[in-house]
Amino acid sequence: MNLKKYISLLEEQDQLARITVPVDPVLEIAAVTDRVCKLPEGGKALLFKHPAGCRFPVATNLFGSTRRVCLALGINHVDELQWRLSELLDRLPTLDFANLDRQLAALPEFSRFAPIRSTLPEPELITSGQPDLSIFPFLQSWPEDGSAAGCQRYVTLPQVFTTEPDGTTPNCGLYRLQVRGPRELAIQWKTGSGAARQAEIFQRQGKPMPVAIALGGDPAMLFSAMLPLPGILDEVTFAGFLRDSAVQTVPCSTIPLQVPTGAEVIIEGYVHPGEKVTEGPFGNHTGYYSAAAPAALMRVTAIRHRPDAIIPATVVGPPPMEDCWMAVAWERLLLSFLRKLFPAVADIHFPFEWVFHQSAIISLENPHSGMVRDITAQLWQLPWFAASRILIFVDAAHESTKLSLAAWKCINLLESQHDLVQDAATGRMAFDATGCRSSRKRATMNNDVVRQIERRWREYGLE
């Protein structure tokens, strides 16, 4: 599947709204998208046919609902992600988290999805003269975005491909890109990310780092780029696992990297040692701007695109937003890892209000005194929860992982002197709201009549 086929599928499923009047990429497209994202079930995907001053359409909110996440990944229910990954993990005799990436890569059931490399470039992509980023309708989402350098437009759904200097350890991440002119981008790769680690190696060796950026293509590749996969697990191979067929890649034209076929736009270039610029501020999910900060400078060497390219974009801001729904895919995959590591874990839920701080509600099977403290200490050692601000544990037999029910249990059941686990060094907290301590046992309110009511609901005329 590529972006255009996916958009056609959304239209068939009544999941797409076409906007045919001109709309400005500076603030206006983002404002429309923000409002639609906050409609029930995430509203519809949006295709802006005529961005002001540009001939290329813009698509937003493409993955902003559970239904669209499933359509993007070719599944009927998000739980299928958990089932498929659990089946793969069950093939490991033991799970060694420190080497989990190598363990998975060695499985024939996973390695069969390794990318199929071609030696010929993709013929559907054209190159027109000198590279010029200004021909594309990249968005400014919030008024102060990029104001430190006066460069307000951003590429917000890029798949950024890098390797180590010897061409090994391929990496693909979803990083923020600020457009700084026709041939320059600022890349804000997060400290500790795969690309940031590779950039440090190039820096130490004094070599320019090749970078390829793909827009569009198969949605499975975008999701794989977004996921915090263990170690150095290859995102292109994982995308093949997600879509159940290997991804085909083709060579770039000016740099020694390969990118997946089917992209709408490919941007190529180099990050040279020591070249930094100030990127930001940038409006994010907190409702505030992240501060301006140093970022790598990428000098563009080539841009190739489809003649009728569609530019995918996303808008981040106070939830609910598109990225909240995309994170549901990671939530289901993470559950597979957690159940293998901690068999007592029954479920996990990232509330939309918390998801980007690694905070979660976790349900436990048969919780007992001390279990929450033990599991919390181990979770905080994992990169997936190292920056977690709050974890709430509930009993899988009695409570849902929904935020409203977890909050109710915390207020009514939790005794902070016993049930609050806090890391004084970082301020991280966990709450034991399982109710498993014997001193707190009390009768649960149940009403057997409820089951009779369910059988007669239609008779009451309330359906």
Here the tokens at position 455 are 């059988």
- Using an 8 Å Cβ cutoff, are 429 and 389 in contact? yes
How far is C-alpha 252 from the chain's CA centre? 25
The closest of 53, 218, 220 to 140, measured between CA atoms, is 53
pLDDT of residue 444: 58
Please indicate whether residue 419 or residue 193 has the higher confidence score (pLDDT).
193
CATH classification (class only), 3-312: mainly beta
- Using an 8 Å Cβ cutoff, are 59 and 25 in contact? no
Q: Is the pLDDT of residue 211 over 60?
A: yes
pLDDT band at 437 (very low <50, low <70, confident <90, very high): low
Q: What is the mean pLDDT of the chain?
A: 92
342-439 placed in CATH 2.40.110.10:
no
Q: Is the pLDDT of residue 371 over 50?
A: yes
Q: Is the pLDDT of residue 445 over 70?
A: no
pLDDT of residue 245: 97
Task: Give Cβ neighbours of residue 3 (< 8 Å, ≥ 6 apart).
Answer: 59, 216, 217, 219, 262, 264, 310, 312
Total residue count of the chain as it appears in this document = 463
- pLDDT tens for 79-133 read 999 999 999 999 998 889 999 999 999 999 999 999 999 998 888 999 978 999 9
Q: Number of C-alpha atoms within 13 angstroms, CB side, residue 287?
A: 5
Here the tokens at position 353 are 């209000």
Q: What are phi and psi of 13, to 5 degrees?
A: -95, 10
pLDDT of residue 420: 84
pTM for this predicted structure: 0.92
Q: Give the separation between CA 134 and CA 143, rounded to whole angstroms.
A: 19
Average pLDDT over residues 67-89: 97
| b/e burial code for range 2-33 (CB count within 10 A of at least 16 → b) | bbbebbebbeeeebbbebeeebbbbebbbebb
- pLDDT tens for 228-270 read 999 999 999 999 999 999 999 999 999 999 999 999 999 999 9
pLDDT of residue 191: 87
Q: Is the pLDDT of residue 29 over 70?
A: yes
- pLDDT tens for 175-199 read 999 999 999 999 999 888 999 999 9
pLDDT of residue 24: 97
- Using an 8 Å Cβ cutoff, are 402 and 353 in contact? no
Give me Rg for the CA atoms of the chain.
Answer: 24
pLDDT of residue 33: 97
- Using an 8 Å Cβ cutoff, are 334 and 89 in contact? no
pLDDT band at 438 (very low <50, low <70, confident <90, very high): very low
pLDDT band at 404 (very low <50, low <70, confident <90, very high): confident
Q: Number of C-alpha atoms within 13 angstroms, CB side, residue 377?
A: 4
Positions of CATH 3.40.1670.10 in the chain: 342-439
pLDDT of residue 461: 74
Here the tokens at position 55 are 């001939």
Q: Give the separation between CA 161 and CA 172, rounded to whole angstroms.
A: 5
Positions of CATH 2.30.110.10 in the chain: 3-312
DSSP-H helix ranges across 206-321:
219-226, 235-243
Of the chain, the percentage scoring pLDDT greater than 90 comes to: 79
pLDDT band at 451 (very low <50, low <70, confident <90, very high): low
- pLDDT tens for 320-359 read 999 999 999 999 999 999 999 999 999 999 999 887 778 9
- pLDDT tens for 378-387 read 999 999 999 9
Task: Give Cβ neighbours of residue 419 (< 8 Å, ≥ 6 apart).
Answer: 372, 431, 432, 433, 437
pLDDT of residue 334: 96
Q: What are phi and psi of 268, to 5 degrees?
A: -120, 150
Q: Give the separation between CA 193 and CA 295, rounded to whole angstroms.
A: 14
Return the minimum-mean-pLDDT range out of 16-25, 111-120, 127-136, 454-463.
454-463
Please indicate whether residue 137 or residue 396 has the higher confidence score (pLDDT).
137
295: left (phi over 0), alpha (psi -120 to 50) or beta: beta
